[in-house]
Amino acid sequence: MVDSAKEAAHRAASDAEQIAWVDEQDNPLGALVRADLRERGLIGRGTYIMLFNSAGELCVHRRTLSKAIYPGYWDVAAGGMVLADESYAESAARELEEELGVSGVELTAHDHFFFEDTGNRLWCSAFSAVWDGPLVLQPEEVLEARFLPIDEVLREIDEKPYCPDSLAALKRYLRARGGDVAKEL
């Protein structure tokens, strides 16, 4: 377990990162410090990587309590903000490796959409990957992780707090595949 001082230091470093700043059509406007982007209600870019195992189970993980947005919430996707000098795909690969220790996997792009919630305005790109190896969690960002069947994930979202932005990505992913389970989200 990570001590609170280390989590706080990680959060401060994260808040100081230069994030891609975009307009309502996802056109680049420059770079802003993450905390400024959030505080000013401006639009950034985010990636969501739904990690499945070969049995079709989805990796869900719980965010640390020091996260600026949705602290302690469960998440159906690895991911995060796109840095100023990154593409969506580069960000997705970096975030998957940082948060869950998964690298060298093929990322499949699925969707590009706008998401808005209190304190969170993003152009989002959703990806998926398949991984049967071990997970190596980043303790400053991830408390725990496990693979679950999709129907179990869908039951859990009514019982536990899940991040609404990654749920939007999952819902769109399931709808695109014609899954009736997407109606339950």
Nearest residue to 181 (alpha-carbon basis) of 151, 152, 161:
151
String of b and e for 109-120 (b: at least 16 CB within 10 Å)? ebbeeebeeeeb
pLDDT of 174 reads 94
Where residue 120 sits, what CATH number does that domain have? 3.90.79.10
* Residue 152 belongs to some domain of the structure: yes
* Residue 182 belongs to some domain of the structure: no
Residue 62 sits in which domain range?
A: 4-176
* Residue 184 belongs to some domain of the structure: no
* Residue 167 belongs to some domain of the structure: yes
* Residue 100 belongs to some domain of the structure: yes
* Residue 181 belongs to some domain of the structure: no
Is this structure's pTM higher than 0.95? no
- Spatial separation of the C-alpha atoms in residues 150 and 156, rounded to whole Å: 10
pLDDT of 179 reads 61
Structure tokens given for 165: 């932005």
Number of domains in the chain: 1
pLDDT of 19 reads 95
Average pLDDT over residues 116-145: 94
